[in-house]
Amino acid sequence: MFHIGPYTIDSQVILAPMAGVTDRPFRQLCKRMGAGLVVSEMVTSDTRLWKSRKSAYRLNHAGEVEPRSIQIAGGDPEMMAEAAIMNVQRGAQIIDINMGCPAKKVCNKAAGSALLKDEPLVRNILSAVTAAVDVPVTLKIRTGWDSSNKNALSIARIAEDAGIQALAVHGRTRSCGYKGEAEYDTIASINEAISIPVFANGDITSPEKAQQVLNHTGCSAVMIGRAAQGKPWLFREIDHYLRTGTILPPPQLEEIREILLAHLHELHSFYGDYLGVRIARKHVGWYLQDKPDGKSFRKTFNIIETAAEQATSIEKYFDNASNNGVAA
C-alpha cells in the first residue's frame, strides 16, 4: 500500500501508460483485474490539437475508475500547466507528466524523454505544472538520454524538489529504445535517494519477476506495460503473488472468453462500431497470440467489418477451442 496525495493505492502493480493501448476500456478492465493504478494514454499539451477525434477519446474521462491519472506530454512549461488545468477541469485526479517516451513524434518536439537532456527546462516544467493544479502531479522518466548521459538520479531529485508526488522509472535510456535488459540498479539508487513513491518499470512479465524487482529496488510498486497487452489478468496474478507468495492458477478458457467478450463490447460502445471494430482487431490479436490456431483465426477475424459479427466470431472460436480441448 502507498499514497499519492490523498489517494491510497492498495495494490503494488500499476498499468503503464501506452498510447494506442491504455484507452478507457482497457484501463477499466485492468483496474478490475487488480491494478492499483492505471494511467491514460498521453495527451498532447497543445490544447489546439484537442479537437482531433483521437484526443476527444483520450480526454473523455466520464465514469472512469478512480483515481483518474491522465498523462500529458510537451516541452513548454506554460502549455503544460494549461493542459494540466484543463485536464483537471475535465475530471483528472492525478496529472502524470511524460518524460519517458522515446517516440520520434514526441522527441522531435522536445518532449518525452528528449527533455531529460535539459535539466533547467525539466525543473521549469515540473514547477509550472505542480503550481498550476491542486491535484497530485506524478512523473515518468527513463534513466537518461543515452548511456553516457544517465541523469535520472538528478532528475529524480529535481522532481521531488518541484513537488512531484510519485516517480515511474523505465529502466532504459532513451537511446536504448526497448533493447537490452532494464537497469534495475539505477532504479534502486533512485528509490534510495528520494522519499516519494518510485515505480519500477521495464520488462516485468510475471509475478516472480515483479517480486524480484521489488526486492531489488525497494520500490513502492511495479509498473507493467507490454506484458499486459491481451493479458489483463496479469495484474490479478501479480497482486496475488505479492500478497501471498503463491501462484494463482491461470484463467480457464471460459473466463478468458468472458473477459475478451466484455472487452470487445466496451470497445464497440466506447468508440462506436466503425472505429471500435478496428481497434478491437489489435487487442484480439494480443489475446490470441500464443494460441496454436491464433494466427489463422486472426486472419479471418481481421476482415470482419461489424461489431456483431466480431462478437459471434469470438464466441465460435472459444466454442471450438473448448470442444477441441485447447488449453487456456
Ligand X SMILES: Cc1cc2nc3c(=O)[nH]c(=O)nc-3n(C[C@H](O)[C@H](O)[C@H](O)COP(=O)(O)O)c2cc1C
Residue 71 interacting with ligand X (CB under 6 A): yes
Three-class SS state of 56: helix
Instruction: Kindly indicate which of the ranges 184-192, 196-204, 211-219, 258-266 contains the residues binding ligand X, using the contact rule CB under 6 A.
Output: 196-204
Residue 227 interacting with ligand X (CB under 6 A): yes
Please choose, from the candidates 306, 305, 287, the residue with its C-alpha nearest in 3D space to the C-alpha of residue 297. 287
Our CB check for ligand X shows the closer of 225 and 307 to be 225
CA distance 211 to 42: 28
Please choose, from the candidates 184, 104, 173, 103, the residue with its C-alpha nearest in 3D space to the C-alpha of residue 145. 173
CA distance 122 to 323: 57
101, 107, 176, 219: the catalytic one is: 101
Residue 226 interacting with ligand X (CB under 6 A): yes
CA distance 137 to 5: 9
The binder of ligand X chosen from 224, 304, 314, 321 (CB under 6 A): 224
Residue 138 interacting with ligand X (CB under 6 A): no
Please choose, from the candidates 101, 79, 78, the residue with its C-alpha nearest in 3D space to the C-alpha of residue 21. 101
Residue 23 interacting with ligand X (CB under 6 A): no
Instruction: Kindly indicate which of the ranges 49-57, 121-129, 225-233, 240-248 contains the residues binding ligand X, using the contact rule CB under 6 A.
Output: 225-233
The binder of ligand X chosen from 4, 13, 18, 95 (CB under 6 A): 18
Strands 198-201 and 69-73, sheet pairing: unpaired
Residue 125 interacting with ligand X (CB under 6 A): no
Cβ 322 to ligand X shortest distance, Å:
31
The binder of ligand X chosen from 20, 120, 177, 325 (CB under 6 A): 20
CA distance 186 to 175: 16
Place of cell 535517494: 193
Instruction: Kindly indicate which of the ranges 15-23, 76-84, 244-252, 297-305 contains the residues binding ligand X, using the contact rule CB under 6 A.
Output: 15-23
Instruction: Kindly indicate which of the ranges 1-9, 29-37, 126-134, 223-231 contains the residues binding ligand X, using the contact rule CB under 6 A.
Output: 223-231
Cβ 26 to ligand X shortest distance, Å:
12
Residue 101 annotated to the active site:
yes
CA distance 182 to 227: 14
Spatial CB neighbours of 68, under 8 Å, sequence gap ≥ 6: 40, 61, 91, 92, 93, 94
Which residues lie near ligand X (CB under 6 A)?
Answer: 16-21, 41-42, 71, 98, 100-101, 140, 170, 201-204, 224-227
Q: Which residues are catalytic?
A: 101
